Amino acid sequence: MKRTLFFMLLSAWLSAPAAWAYDFDIDGIYYNITSSDEKTVEVTYYLYDKYSGDVIIPATVTNEGIEYRVTAIGNSAFSWCYDLTSVTIGNNVTTISDESFMECTDLEKFKGKFTSSDNRCLIVNDRLVAFAQSGLSEYTIPEGVTTIGDWAFGGCRGLTSVTIPNSVTTIGERAFVACENLTSVTIPESVTSIGYYAFRGCTGLAEFKGKFAVDNCCLIVNGTLKAFASNSGLSEYTIPDEVQVIGESAFYGCTGLSEVTIPESVTTIHEGAFDGCTGLTEVTIGKNVQTIGESAFYGCTGLSEVTIPESVTTIGDDAFRNCSGLTSVTIGKNVQTIGESAFYDCTGLSEITIPESVTTIGDEAFRDCSGLTSVTIGKNVQTIGKMAFLYCTGLKKVYISDLAAWCRIDFKKGGSNPLYYAHNLYENNTLVTDLKIPNDITKIYPCAFYGCTSLISVTIPEGVISIGDWAFYCCTGLTLVTAYNPTPVNIDESVFYNVDCSNCTLYVATESVELYKAVTWWKEFGTVSPIDESSAITEIRQDNADGHITVYNLQGVPVLETDDAANLKTLQNGAYIVNGKKMIIAR
């Protein structure tokens, strides 16, 4: 999903109060009752693009015999009314919401209350809340305006020049968003604050001048880089040392930038900071950045390598989503959270290492990374979100260093476990075929070995009292399971789903054989046999000091070579062939 201006505006519209609802309509105008006691209403909408032509908002309306005063124009009341040409504001209106007239591309004039002398603006208490954009390429904001309201000039694509008077102190959020043909902006000395996204999508901007302007290409307000001139002509830029924060969408859509250096002064890269910078091929992230915000590098398809410094603790949702050119990512060793969809659709990645600092991998974090062939999961990961590795169809190997830690990961769904595609689990670079669940594990989490076809045998210690759904789903290589709990753990069909249990042997304690044979799903095993307690090793003695000992698992793979029988103590519980004889270790 590409984050375009349209979807941003649409989201704001859909979140507006009373969206798609109204209390009554009179003469084609829709109203919501704001106070039954005071008998007041606001103008609202039924569907966008509903109003057209010349609209007159009356001072009062009567519905079902009750007269109401029209005191407000609600959020998005006239937004996206492309055929609206003029609006007359009634005398009882006291409030006009920001965003009320977004994208009214044919709006030529306002009349009535709050109208500027040129009939182009609505100004409420010195706040410019709406602008009639049709037919204008240049505009001078009236003297006396102190605040340019949120979205006031949003989507005025015909504007090439706007003059801001010295009376203005505040430029609101998204005030000039998507003014695509605006080429130059001069900020007067009177301005003290600029809202987020104020110049987002102004793709024609070549320069900033006046207060807060630095290098003629960016606005820096109290240490925050608010905006960068998309059409500045610069291909390389080093952010000034005075910057501590890169603001929301500051470099949005700067397709001409190829290299950016973020200095050590920067601690935060905010939401969408470099969103859509498709020409960006190289970014150096300063070593004091702590947070990489949501969508910070969304759609930077030209990036090939990224090193996330050790100072970073959070990689935000969608941070590198759709960075399809990425072939290498180094994640700093202090990152704790990888956000939802953080690397979604990074199809160029071939391998990724999750450091031991990471505890949470969000939903869809690596979804559609079809080029991934291997992933290393740090031992402190506690949660892997839904579909985190969905459609990572190229995966062949999953590397871990701590099997017990792996058993404790909370996989939210099958698509969250990379084994679903990789099939092969490696512990300390050794392929796990004979899985021995560590003795300190009491619960095997759902989906823990989902799709791990390399498994041939599984040994489950006595302490395990819970096995989650889908834990051994599609482990089609399984031929032997040993369960040491004398009481069968309650499982459902999904635990060994798509495993041919009829051709598997289940070993259990002698006294539990009949019990396992009678319990649902355990009884599906073709053979349920007792663990031969008479051959179980309960004490290890060095009876032959000079004899060489070779230990094999039941698949004939050597697991231990030693001249010292005492080393047999290092073996976990399970079935082995020791110097040609079958032995069961059951402590």
- pLDDT digit string (tens) for 252-267? 999 999 999 999 999 9
- pLDDT digit string (tens) for 232-242? 999 999 999 99
157 pLDDT exceeds 60? yes
Give the pLDDT score at 554: 65
- pLDDT digit string (tens) for 431-479? 999 999 999 999 999 999 999 999 999 999 999 999 999 999 999 999 9
Task: Name the token pair of 497.
Answer: 């789903």
Give the pLDDT score at 347: 97
Mean pLDDT of 546-565: 76
19 pLDDT exceeds 80? no
- N-to-C CA span, the chain: 55
Give the pLDDT score at 586: 53
Task: Name the token pair of 409.
Answer: 């990961």
Among 84-93, 518-527, 558-567, where is mean pLDDT lowest? 558-567
Task: Name the token pair of 308.
Answer: 């996330």
To which H or E segment does residue 10 belong?
A: helix 5-14
More confident of the two residues 318 and 9: 318
- Residue 501: DSSP 8-state: G
536 pLDDT exceeds 60? no
Q: Which amino acid is at 205?
A: L
Quote the Cα angle for 528-529-530, to 5°: 135
Give the pLDDT score at 410: 95
pLDDT band at residue 20 under the 50/70/90 scheme? low
Mean pLDDT of 126-150: 97
In 10 A of CB 459, how many CB atoms?
Answer: 19
Give the pLDDT score at 540: 37
List beta partners, residue 508.
530
To which H or E segment does residue 6 belong?
A: helix 5-14
pLDDT band at residue 11 under the 50/70/90 scheme? very low
More confident of the two residues 50 and 33: 33
Nearest to 73 by CA among 92, 86, 54: 92
Mean pLDDT of 127-150: 97
Give the pLDDT score at 572: 72
Q: Decide if 363 contacts 391 (C-beta within 8 A).
A: no
Q: Decide if 136 contacts 118 (C-beta within 8 A).
A: no
201 pLDDT exceeds 80? yes
559 pLDDT exceeds 90? no
Among 7-11, 115-119, 305-309, 501-505, where is mean pLDDT lowest? 7-11
CATH of domain 5-112: 3.80.10.10
109 pLDDT exceeds 70? yes
Give the pLDDT score at 10: 39
Percent of the chain whose predicted confidence (pLDDT) is above 90:
84
Q: Decide if 384 contacts 407 (C-beta within 8 A).
A: no
Mean pLDDT of 97-106: 92
Give the pLDDT score at 581: 65
541 pLDDT exceeds 90? no
Among 22-26, 366-370, 373-377, 568-572, where is mean pLDDT lowest? 568-572
Residue at token pair 């700093």: 332
- pLDDT digit string (tens) for 54-90? 999 999 999 999 999 999 999 999 999 999 999 999 9
More confident of the two residues 549 and 495: 495
Mean pLDDT of 386-409: 96
- Domain range list for the chain: 5-112, 433-531, 535-585
pTM: 0.85
Task: Name the token pair of 83.
Answer: 């055929």
532 pLDDT exceeds 80? no
More confident of the two residues 150 and 565: 150
3-state secondary structure of 494: helix
Question: Do 5-112 and 433-531 agree at the fold level?
Answer: no
Nearest to 485 by CA among 536, 531, 553: 531
CATH of domain 433-531: 3.40.50
Backbone angles phi, psi at 225, to 5 degrees: -80, 110
- The residue count for the chain: 587
List beta partners, residue 55.
87
CA distance 451 to 421: 7
In 10 A of CB 507, how many CB atoms?
Answer: 24
- Residue 14: DSSP 8-state: H
499 pLDDT exceeds 70? yes
Give the pLDDT score at 261: 98
154 pLDDT exceeds 90? yes
